[in-house]
Homo-oligomer: A and B are copies of this chain.
């Protein structure tokens, strides 16, 4: 597919500049003319919700998503209820911050029963959908790479995310496609096509070889083996033309000057996304 020509869809996911607080990230986006930002709750909490909202509004940035709700499975009903309550707080925060997308990272199983944990995810989502809808928030189910199944998400394929989302209307529940999490999947292009009308987020980074670390080993686009352009093409053929978040967990990148990272990110975005 043709390359991207402008930066109007580019979004900085805050985690990419992990040593920057929210104020620094917003200022960086303004300096580098990046129109979108994806926020993390702990960074919003540091600054305070209303101050974060004011800062982003004054900067003229748009918020592509809030990370993250989810983490549904837990051993007891009481603990699961606490998780649901926390998701409701995340929904309120997302609405307040002016995004319509809350990314859901489903959570790991509390024990060895991964099938049961998957049911808990479905039940947790069911419990928050009406609340989210009332607040104008669409829940974005994100399949995480299977190497995170034990620690972060029992939802590990786009197939599973689609199956959950299809229980609801597209304005209630959609899916988030992150190339790092799904590039390996033999069923990927069929599942992207199936997600037509339900993709509400698209995240990019790269899979570098050798992979230095499970969590912090993502690479800048173009530094790895993912055919990002092919995946973007498939995503856009479903009709998605929303923001494209750059979400890179990598301490080496964190330790570089933030503006340098943003500049490289823009160059790679045009070249490899």
Contacts and interface: CB of A to CB of B under 8 A. Distances in A.
Contacts of A213: 214
B224 A150 contact: yes
Contact of A150 (B150, B156, B157, B209): B209
A24 interface: no
Contact of A184 (B156, B211, B225): B156
A29 to B, nearest CB: 29
Nearest to A226: B112
A136 interface: no
Interface stretch (A76-84, A141-149, A239-247, A261-269): A141-149
B225 A147 contact: no
Contacts of A147: 145-147, 211, 214
A114 B214 CA distance: 21
A113 B227 contact: yes
Given A160-B186, A186-B160, A207 B150 contact: yes
Nearest to A151: B209
Interface in A216-273: 224-227
Contacts of A160: 186
Contacts of A224: 150
A127 interface: no
Contact of A185 (B109, B111, B146, B209): B146
A145 B183 CA distance: 13
Given A150-B207, A151-B211, A211-B214, A186 B118 contact: yes
A148 to B, nearest CB: 9
Contacts of A211: 147, 150-151, 214
Contacts of A209: 150-151
The 5 A-B residue pairs with the shortest CB-CB distance in the complex, in nearest-first order: A149-B184, A147-B147, A146-B184, A112-B227, A150-B225
14 contacts: A109-B225, A112-B225, A112-B226, A112-B227, A114-B184, A147-B147, A147-B214, A149-B184, A150-B184, A156-B184, A156-B186, A160-B186, A213-B214, A214-B214
Interface of A: 109, 111-114, 118, 145-147, 149-151, 156-157, 159-160, 183-186, 207, 209-211, 213-214, 224-227
Given A113-B227, A145-B146, A151-B209, 17 more contacts: A109-B225, A112-B225, A114-B184, A114-B225, A146-B146, A146-B184, A147-B147, A147-B214, A149-B184, A149-B207, A150-B211, A150-B225, A151-B211, A156-B185, A157-B186, A159-B186, A214-B214
